[in-house]
Amino acid sequence: MRRGSKKNRLMDYWVGIPLLNVLATVLAAGRRRRWPLQVKRLGVMCSPALGDTLLFSAALRDVRAHFADAEIIHFCMRQNMAAAELIPGADRRVLVDLTKPAESVRRVRAERVDVLLDFTSWQRLTAFYSLMSGAKFTAGFQTAGQHRGRGYDVAVEHRADQHEVDNFRDLLRLVRIPPGLEPQVIVPEMAAEPLAEAKDIVVFHLWASGTRSWLREWPEERWIELAGRLAEPGTVFAITGAPSDLERIEPFLLRMAEAGLKAVAFVGTDGFVSLAHLLRRARVVVSVNTGVMHLAAVLGAPTVSINGPNRNGRWGPLGRRAVGVEAPGEGCGYLHLGFDFDGRATDCMERITVEMVLAAANEVAGVHEDAGAQTWKI
């Protein structure tokens, strides 16, 4: 269920809400289920978004630590399978298509899990699949306005005033799983590093995805000015994006060349493996608030997130060398579920200056001269 697809969200709303709540009324009548005495097979689900999946890795590690001997099955969607393959904790990943309810229910039920933990926040269909999973016990989120909490045996409030990782931890506490581990990815080795010949790489990720993505994008002329301020002799600017971004990447590369800056397009063809290796080699990664930003932060790369409608305390980067730049003034940092733009400020990204982003980039890169040697402060 893609957050950016209006068609999918309408289907989830008009089909998911009545279907879920009618069935919950029928199936839950007179039933009060408790956590099973023995958990041999445990299922988990999370949002199909890249960033959400990477943040979910913290909760999955906690589940793995608490259930060391159980088989853990991660129910994934096509959109987040590549990201799920990088996060540790699950024994197996099972692909489901949230837009095909009958097929998805069959696949979930076929796994015969004892417990199913649903870490999605707004999708009614995932709550429906939890209800129909055949699990002995289910848990998930009760999110304001989403009418989904009745799909579980127990539900915890999904809050807008804390980071998503802390929402995941609230769900773990609800079922008495001790939380506390941080997001993590494990990246396979590569025979050859991307852009191996480049000695100084700066990664820019300009484009967001999803609902009204342009409201989370920074003006292109500011990216070019920032590049000029960050450039050193031999710097290569890697402009990352999805294949669908290529039609915008090419004109931007021409603008960079006109400014005397060397820039190349980088669109990975192996999921996120080569991208992860590139991000780890970067002097600094500057990105709008999107999945690539979260990947860079979790990897420990020096990362700057340009937030705008997002807020650090809700969707900011989590990493030892990561910082988020927020829009000054009132009315920004309002996104909660990722599509709640109506009636909100539309100029948040324009309020963020080059100087603000440059200062953050210098802070996280931490490059300084020490006896003629370049040192990275971690």
Predicted confidence (pLDDT) at residue 1 exceeds the cutoff of 90:
no
HEC profile for the chain? CCCCCHHHHHHHHHHHHHHHHHHHHHHCCCCCCCCCCCCCEEEEECCCCHHHHHHHHHHHHHHHHHCCCCEEEEEECHHHHHHHCCCCCCCEEEECCCCCHHHHHHHHHHCCCCEEEECCCCCHHHHHHHHCCCCCEEEEEEECCCCCHHHCCEEEEECCCCCHHHHHHHHHHHCCCCCCCCCCCCCCCCCCCCCCCCCEEEEEECCCCCCCHHHHCCCHHHHHHHHHHHCCCCEEEEEECCHHHHHHHHHHHHHHHHCCCCEEEECCCCCCHHHHHHHHHCCEEEEECCHHHHHHHHHCCCEEEECCCCCHHHHCCCCCCEEEECCCCCCCCCCCCCCCCCCCCCCCHHHCCHHHHHHHHHHHHCEEEECCEEEECC
373 in a structural domain: no
Q: What angle do CA 318, 312, 346 make, to 5 degrees?
A: 135
254 in a structural domain: yes
**CA pair distance 90, 60, nearest whole angstrom:** 7
41 in a structural domain: yes
Q: Are 296 and 303 in contact (CB under 8 A)?
A: yes
238 in a structural domain: yes
180 in a structural domain: no
Per the structure block, which two tokens stand in for 29? 């009548």
Q: Are 321 and 299 in contact (CB under 8 A)?
A: no
Q: What is the mean pLDDT of residues 20-44?
A: 76
**Could you read off the pLDDT of 189-212 as tens digits, one per residue?**
998 899 999 999 999 999 998 889
Q: Looking at this protein, which amino acid is placed at residue 204?
A: F
Nearest by Cα to 115 from 88, 139, 141, 148? 139
Given this model, what pLDDT does residue 13 score?
A: 55
Q: Are residues 165 and 207 in the same domain?
A: no
Q: Are 124 and 101 in contact (CB under 8 A)?
A: no
Name, in order, each residue with C-beta under 8 angstroms of 304's C-beta and a sequence gap of 6 or more. Answer: 284, 285, 286, 287, 322, 323, 324, 325, 357, 360, 361, 364
**CA pair distance 318, 59, nearest whole angstrom:** 14
Q: Are residues 97 and 16 in the same domain?
A: yes
Query: Could you tell me the CATH number of the domain that includes residue 294?
Result: 3.40.50.2000
Task: Give percent of the chain with pLDDT exceeding 70.
Answer: 88
How many domains are contained in the chain? 2
Q: Are residues 126 and 270 in the same domain?
A: no
**CA pair distance 370, 377, nearest whole angstrom:** 11
Predicted confidence (pLDDT) at residue 16 exceeds the cutoff of 70:
no
Q: Are residues 164 and 237 in the same domain?
A: no
What's the whole-model pTM score? 0.90
Given this model, what pLDDT does residue 376 score?
A: 28
Given this model, what pLDDT does residue 370 score?
A: 34
Torsion of CA 264, 265, 268, 274, to 10 degrees: 20
Residue where one domain finishes, among candidates 174, 191, 216? 174
**Which residues constitute the domain of residue 320?**
200-366
Q: Are residues 165 and 278 in the same domain?
A: no
**Could you read off the pLDDT of 132-149 as tens digits, one per residue?**
999 999 999 999 988 888
Q: Are residues 166 and 232 in the same domain?
A: no
Given this model, what pLDDT does residue 271 score?
A: 87
Q: 23 falls in which pLDDT band (50, 70, 90)?
A: low
Q: Are residues 295 and 169 in the same domain?
A: no
- As a whole number of angstroms, the longest Cα–Cα distance in the chain is 75
Which of the two residues, 191 and 108, has the higher pLDDT score?
A: 108
Given this model, what pLDDT does residue 65 score?
A: 98
Q: What is the mean pLDDT of residues 111-116?
A: 98
Q: 165 falls in which pLDDT band (50, 70, 90)?
A: very high
Q: Are residues 336 and 215 in the same domain?
A: yes
Given this model, what pLDDT does residue 54 score?
A: 98
Q: 150 falls in which pLDDT band (50, 70, 90)?
A: confident
Q: Are residues 12 and 157 in the same domain?
A: yes
**CA pair distance 306, 215, nearest whole angstrom:** 12
Predicted confidence (pLDDT) at residue 4 exceeds the cutoff of 60:
no
The sheet carrying 284-288 orders its strands as 263-266, 235-240, 200-205, 284-288, 303-306, 322-325
Predicted confidence (pLDDT) at residue 265 exceeds the cutoff of 90:
yes
Q: What is the mean pLDDT of residues 216-238?
A: 98
188 in a structural domain: no
Residue where one domain finishes, among candidates 133, 157, 174? 174
Predicted confidence (pLDDT) at residue 166 exceeds the cutoff of 50:
yes
Q: Are residues 219 and 122 in the same domain?
A: no
Given this model, what pLDDT does residue 181 score?
A: 98
Given this model, what pLDDT does residue 269 score?
A: 83
Given this model, what pLDDT does residue 209 score?
A: 84
Q: 351 falls in which pLDDT band (50, 70, 90)?
A: very high
Q: What is the mean pLDDT of residues 342-371?
A: 86
**CA pair distance 109, 111, nearest whole angstrom:** 5
Residue where one domain finishes, among candidates 140, 174, 208? 174
Per the structure block, which two tokens stand in for 296? 């860079």
374 in a structural domain: no
181 in a structural domain: no
**CA pair distance 12, 68, nearest whole angstrom:** 35
Given this model, what pLDDT does residue 375 score?
A: 26
Q: What is the mean pLDDT of residues 262-270?
A: 93
Q: What is the mean pLDDT of residues 72-76?
A: 98
